[in-house]
Amino acid sequence: MKIDPQSSPVRFRLARVLGVHTDERAWRRGANGERVTALWLGRLPDGWHVFHDVPVGDRGANVDHVVIGPSGVFTVNTKNVTGKLWVGAKSIRRNGHPTDYLRKATAEANRASRLLSTALGRQVGVRAVLAILADEWTILEEPAEVIVRGPRGAKNLMLAQPPVLTPRDVAELAAAAAKRGTWAAR
């Protein structure tokens, strides 16, 4: 439900107090999830680089977090949801309903791979991560293409991956990721 706080301040406050689902509430909840994830990613050791809220293209899209370290390059998509989450090899269900989380996380990593590869003139692999805050989890089977965990678990799994990049590779990738032009639409 879209309630404009400027034109309907009473309805806006009442919806907020009653916990009615509004666009503002969903945005605020998502932003809180991104802050929690940023907190955990901020605890990565030296040699890791984290970029938050990376604008991609020219239509307002963004990557919540890009992480670069010895274990590789990762795009981290954060979700902050209520209810039960079931994770399977090819799908994630929330409160029994299918989501598009895996597809979108994979597409985001593929897009980042293309953009970083173009910027560096060589192939750059990027792994998708979903950092999900949920009330209750059931992991039936791990997805092969996407790391799915809570924010702390996602950070720990990235650290646990075997090293694939040299310190020079990490520095080069981080320098490319820091440039706005890397993420512009091509």
Domain limits, the chain: 9-183
Give the pLDDT of residue 30: 44
pLDDT band at 27 (very low <50, low <70, confident <90, very high): low
pLDDT band with cut points at 50, 70 and 90 for residue 184: confident
Six-digit token string for 29: 């909840």
pLDDT higher than threshold 80 for residue 22: no
Mean pLDDT of the chain: 87
Instruction: Say if residue 28's pLDDT is above 60.
Output: no
Comparison of pLDDT for 125 and 186, the residue scoring more? 125
Averaged pLDDT, 21-48:
75
Q: Give per-residue pLDDT as tens, 64-114.
A: 999 999 999 999 999 999 899 999 999 999 999 999 999 999 999 999 999
* Predicted local confidence at residue 159, as pLDDT: 96
Please tell me the least confidently modeled range out of 8-12, 88-92, 138-142. Answer: 8-12
**Given this model, what pLDDT does residue 174 score?**
98
Residues 39, 31: Cα–Cα separation, whole Å: 12
